[in-house]
Amino acid sequence: MTEIGKIVGAVRSETEVTLQVISSINGDNVGISFEAYAVGDPKFGWATGQAALLEASARVPPPPDPLEIARAGMVCSRLQGRLTLGPDVVARLDAIAANPAESWALRETITNAAEWHRNSQTMDAMGWAMGFTAEQMDALFEAAMKVVP
């Protein structure tokens, strides 16, 4: 809504705030005035607050990443995952789990997690350790979720 007195822009520095304010409306023509408030001006704090409010209202969060949304729903049981991977890859996975040089969280996830969540950092580490790309991990999860043991 366009109204006289509405703050439509602001420029801030450490010593001055300049507000862009609608000063007149004549049909489709809108007049803008610039009001500057320097440090020491009684309205400097108010103007700084107005500028901050304007900046905050202008921030629009980015739309959610569809891939991240999809990955959040990719969950399979450890058994579904192992059956999808097959005996050769599972043997490699078990070797990783038996290696004390690997992270404890990764070893525990491989051997004891009831569920594997695609958006887990541990799943990213597991995929990397087996040489899988993110896309291959997505495909494995999609396949594993369809397995009925």
Alpha-carbon distances of 57 from 7, 49, 63, 135, rounded to whole Å: 12, 12, 16, 37
Q: pLDDT tens digits for 93-144?
A: 999 999 999 999 999 999 999 999 999 999 999 999 999 999 999 999 999 9
- pLDDT per position as a tens digit, 49-96: 888 887 777 677 778 889 999 999 999 999 999 999 999 999 999 999
Percent pLDDT > 70 in the chain is: 98
pTM higher than 0.75: no
- 138 close to 117: Cβ distance less than 8 angstroms: no
Instruction: Report how far residue 149's alpha carbon sits from residue 135's, in angstroms, rounded to the nearest whole number.
Output: 24
Q: What is the residue-averaged pLDDT of the chain? A: 89
Q: Domain extents for the chain?
A: 7-58, 66-144
